[in-house]
Structure 1
């Protein structure tokens, strides 16, 4: 958080100063202002810093003058403001050349401008900007949280985030299923298999699926959708509890560089609120699956003796018991490799992911059935309950079920090689 060099040149004493080189770096962010009057700057400079100096300590040392810029480039400092008239005379050509090379603005400050004329107005502007951004951050957090709680979760978050940053936003599950999108390109992206493939490739090649350090997570990974009129974008992993729940893709044809501070704030909160929403959705889905699984176990075992109770539970589980059903059981012969010991700290999460993927794959496969199918997992098997409607002969019924069983086998082999 801070102000740009471009903005700083319109504040306080810098209003009367002159930019002599490094114009390419005018959009660098200034977060600090400091005075430097030592021969070796390496221990004193830091990132996003505007350095003010007379170059007195290196007034007769041209290499020392250039070393200030070399050190600033290594530290990613923002700009160098020098009172050249006091001890050097005029900006040396070598400093001008190096400033342009690094894209670090070099500013010529008149002798009559005091340090206080520069530092106090700039620090006041930086603090004011910090305050504005913190207030904006709190406002955005409240807005997105309210949307997640009061409206349709993920779609509402995508819509509000797209509005805040003025770009297209698409939110994907960890299986790269588009959960919601909003913005000018949303309708194209939702059905665009090429974009989904590009997203998968970006995630795979940049190891986004693994746990990431916070700065890298918020920075996002670049995404170039050439087939969408050359639009650019970034992918942000939605991570929580050592798990990646999905991804947020931000796409815009006008996205040439980095996001603005305001956009970064909105995206950061969007990622956080999306993670909370996905965790909540996951807990709700797990409760539903558990209810269905318990109901089916009781139904098969015949442990519930009260007819009205079992019928009521069937209605809640989406299984009206006045219909006819066929049950298919798919045994899993070879589980994917998991940590050998169930008590191992890394066992539970991969096992849970595998079960979720397997259940989702079976549900997608059986969605071709004419009516809704209940699918539950029982240890190392899949149990599917198929409603039977119409006048199907046993032969036709077996043929259809056999086809679905083969399709399930094919998809499982394809998914886990």
Structure 2
């Protein structure tokens, strides 16, 4: 059995420590764990601690600015394990208000005697910490050897999780990249439903996760990610209230590394199956909706009443981490998500929040809703054409594919005789007129086509309605196309779309 972590109770049993300090408050938690000791002076002490510190100070900064001490101590107290304040140099006694605040935060305060050198305390405390760390590393190394032995003698993920659980004595479990439980170890009294609830908490609380130096946590769930070949393929979770000990963090990291080796085979097999299925869809080898539904069911996808496809550009490469338990397909330049119409809104909101948090410039295209799975290829090709168009336009954010279909269609018609006819007989003539007379016929036409009424268009152009009507008449005179005639208006709309395409050099 390894030595427990260093606590203040254990330090007080050491003569060299107890003779040099005096505990001066009544309600400090002497079970606080000490991971390192530091000497600090300055009103911003709280900005330089990371947790577990025994802070030593002469209170010099606050002796010069006593008005800052209470606020500074309130920020410092929750972040450290103990503080030792030397008296007789810059302060004669520790302020009463500081003692009261320490009791409020249950932070032990030690008065350090004037003659005591800080290096003497540092040596005593550090010696105990190093003793603990040596013993802890020996035990972690033994656990490492057990993991190697288990890994070589069994392909079963559950065997590895059992080794980890027996070392941790805490509920723990392994998820695959889709967020499904593959193996677990439970303490007595833990229900199967508890693991399902914890898994759901990871899915719903992923955006509120808090990072640590070893992974991240969501409430009581400490999560270690399993990577192989730069790909996230699973997660190992330890259930524990509060912070993990250093030993537990190391075991968690070891577990994630060993589990990643086993998870890779599972991940690679599943990805190859998905890729083969998707290739069959794209090549038209599978056309029957029933066959598609059956293959999706074998891949774990639940049939829905209505579907959407969403394409996420690779500028949002980490979006896959946020869409666990989703049917996500990876291609060279984007991810493809097949989901129910209800899930589509949730996924788009996740994408928007991710882009905002990570300051990412990325695009997402959502296909029209469809109910027949045999139309999946059609909606995929439609969305691909639109997202490629967005790439060329350097447009980011979420876009509906159907709103960009006219531009996509024109892209396919480019350099045809029909396309060139509209460009030369309408667009080129209007551009030449605007250039020669410094007018705004094309801008006016664009506004008239875009707004709900001519009055709205005139207001947008900051001109009188009669001026707008005059310009539309001038357009008819130049192009022989009447804005107020339905077929001619479609012709003029195509002209404005071609103008934009030519301007953007699509």
Taking structure 2 as the reference length, the TM-score comes to 0.48
**Residues 274 and 94 (structure 1 numbering): CA distance in 2 closer, same or farther, change over 3 Å?**
same
1:269 matched to which residue of 2? 254
1:240 matched to which residue of 2? 227
**Residues 347 and 249 (structure 1 numbering): CA distance in 2 closer, same or farther, change over 3 Å?**
closer
Contact 1:168 1:185 survives alignment (8 Å) = no
1:147 matched to which residue of 2? 150
Deviation at 1:159, TM superposition (A): 0.7
**Residues 20 and 213 (structure 1 numbering): CA distance in 2 closer, same or farther, change over 3 Å?**
closer
1:215 matched to which residue of 2? 212
Residues 346-390 of structure 1 deviation map (CA, whole Å, 9 limit, x = unaligned): 8999315999999xxxxxxxxxxxxxxxxxxxxx79xxxxxxxxx
1:127 matched to which residue of 2? 130
Contact 1:159 1:183 survives alignment (8 Å) = no
Deviation at 1:62, TM superposition (A): 4.3
Residues 26-53 of structure 1 deviation map (CA, whole Å, 9 limit, x = unaligned): 34443443334x5645498433432223
Alignment of 1:225-236 (within 5 A): 234=221, 236=223
2:447 matched to which residue of 1? none
**Residues 92 and 196 (structure 1 numbering): CA distance in 2 closer, same or farther, change over 3 Å?**
closer
1:330 matches 2:291: yes
CA distance in 2, matches of 1:110, 1:235: 41
Where 1:26 maps in the other structure, the secondary structure is coil
1:72 matched to which residue of 2? 76
Deviation at 1:155, TM superposition (A): 0.8
Runs of 5+ unmatched residues, structure 2: 279-284, 297-305, 321-326, 340-375, 378-506
Runs of 5+ unmatched residues, structure 1: 224-233, 294-299, 301-326, 359-379, 382-417
Contact 2:214 2:249 survives alignment (8 Å) = no
Contact 1:4 1:29 survives alignment (8 Å) = yes
1:102 matches 2:110: no
Where 2:113 maps in the other structure, the secondary structure is coil
**Residues 286 and 158 (structure 1 numbering): CA distance in 2 closer, same or farther, change over 3 Å?**
same
**Residues 216 and 222 (structure 1 numbering): CA distance in 2 closer, same or farther, change over 3 Å?**
farther
Where 2:219 maps in the other structure, the secondary structure is strand
Find the partner of 2:187 among 184, 187, 200. Answer: 184
CA distance in 1, matches of 2:48, 2:313: 51
**Residues 131 and 356 (structure 1 numbering): CA distance in 2 closer, same or farther, change over 3 Å?**
farther
Residues 88-147 of structure 1 deviation map (CA, whole Å, 9 limit, x = unaligned): 444332121121223332102233433232111222333343444444444433432432
Alignment of 1:222-371 (within 5 A): 222=219, 234=221, 236=223, 238-240=225-227, 244-251=232-239, 256-284=241-269, 330-331=291-292, 336-339=308-311, 350-351=328-329
2:394 matched to which residue of 1? none
1:401 matched to which residue of 2? none
**Residues 83 and 277 (structure 1 numbering): CA distance in 2 closer, same or farther, change over 3 Å?**
same
**Residues 345 and 198 (structure 1 numbering): CA distance in 2 closer, same or farther, change over 3 Å?**
closer
Where 2:329 maps in the other structure, the secondary structure is helix
CA distance in 1, matches of 2:115, 2:315: 72
Contact 1:154 1:277 survives alignment (8 Å) = yes
Contact 1:54 1:82 survives alignment (8 Å) = yes
Contact 2:62 2:69 survives alignment (8 Å) = yes
CA distance in 2, matches of 1:65, 1:53: 13
Structure of higher RCO (CA pairs closer than 8 Å, 6+ residues apart): 1
Contact 2:171 2:186 survives alignment (8 Å) = yes
Aligned residues: 310
2:168 matched to which residue of 1? 165
CA distance in 2, matches of 1:347, 1:70: 38
CA distance in 1, matches of 2:23, 2:131: 24
2:365 matched to which residue of 1? none
Residues 9-66 of structure 1 deviation map (CA, whole Å, 9 limit, x = unaligned): 3446432222222744434443443334x56454984334322234356557644554
CA distance in 2, matches of 1:57, 1:328: 74
CA distance in 1, matches of 2:178, 2:77: 41
Where 2:24 maps in the other structure, the secondary structure is strand
1:313 matched to which residue of 2? none
1:199 matches 2:187: no
Q: Which has the larger radius of gyration?
A: 2
Contact 2:56 2:83 survives alignment (8 Å) = yes
2:342 matched to which residue of 1? none
Residues 322-352 of structure 1 deviation map (CA, whole Å, 9 limit, x = unaligned): xxxxx99614699752438899978999315
CA distance in 1, matches of 2:84, 2:202: 42
CA distance in 1, matches of 2:35, 2:314: 49
RMSD: 4.8
2:55 matched to which residue of 1? 51
CA distance in 2, matches of 1:117, 1:235: 37
Where 1:274 maps in the other structure, the secondary structure is helix
